Amino acid sequence: MRAAVSLLVGALFGLGLLISGMTDTTKVQGWLDIFGDWDPTLAFVMGGAIVPMAIAWRVTHGRKPVLAASFPPPPEPRLGRKLVVGSTLFGMGWGLSGLCPGPAMASLSFGGTGGWLFLLAMLIGMGLAPGLRNRLDASPQPV
Amino acid sequence: MPIDWIMGLAGGGLIGTAAAIYLLVNGQIMGASGIVGGLVDGSGRHDWAERAALIAGLVLVPAVAAFAMGGAQTHLTSNWAVIIIAGLLVGVGTRVANGCTSGHGVCGISRLSLRGIVATAFYIGAGGLTVVIFKHLLGVI
């Protein structure tokens, strides 16, 4: 049952990414390109996604999920070096390509060889992440 | 084009609805990098079937929809070096930061998580700077 819900969630997620234009790298790079021909679409996508999700977080108060024992714990208050370093590396790759993990998967069927190459590199990068996490954990944390 | 922001808002609404269902029914945060990354490093072995089902929907439904719409384009660069470097950075960065645009962005900001807001500020800042440098200064992308 939980897997069927996951399938539906993935379907809606993918459809939303496609119709919003987020599988088109020119729209994503256009949003990041503040000194060029700026494209505001991504802000509308983010806004449109945050509203139903903000309502969902409110609904969780004092309740339990339908098919799970509990909701996710509150976010950790600590920021930490991993959050800052990781997000900066991610942003650099996002800017270079115009792809982040969701759209990279949603566009696989029409993204050609380049799309598969990006996915493969991304999976390898994900495999390298635990090593970098350990290195960052081993050094003293300034934030 | 005015239609772009309407489609953006509608598509965003679908993404947010998907995340809301995942939270309220399965009790989980819909983060694309965490869902696939857990299968790569083995941390998501216990619920691999649910992760695989979500990824199947995420890949197959846009495939059918794009076909029905008469095709879709990613306009991804044809420079393989840029694709490989970008893919590696996105993969390692999202897993080190423990989230991407969906997890930290959509799911984090909507619960006013400081971590989500800070992560989003850093990846948008780094992305914007990267576009300025590699597009306008170096002309690589």
- The tens digit of pLDDT for each residue in B12-24 reads 999 999 999 999 9
Q: Which residues of A touch B76 (CB under 8 A)?
A: 25, 97-99, 111-112, 114-115, 118
End-to-end CA distance of chain A: 41
How long, in residues, is chain B? Answer: 141
pLDDT tens digits, A42-93 = 999 999 999 999 999 999 999 999 999 999 999 988 999 999 999 999 999 9
Q: What's the CA gap between B78 and B86, in Å, rounded?
A: 12
Q: Is the dihedral of CA A123, A18, A29, B117 positive or negative?
A: negative
Nearest to B86 among A6, A70, A118 (CB): A118
Q: What's the CA gap between B13 and B55, in Å, rounded?
A: 19
**Average pLDDT for B111-120:** 97
Q: Cβ separation of A16 and B14 shorter than 8 Å?
A: yes
Query: What ipTM was predicted for this assembly?
Result: 0.97
DSSP H helical ranges for B27-69: 32-41, 48-68
Nearest to A96 among B7, B105, B130 (CB): B130
pLDDT tens digits, B66-89 = 999 999 999 999 999 999 999 999
Residue with tokens 């929809």: B65
Q: What is the reported pLDDT for A86?
A: 98
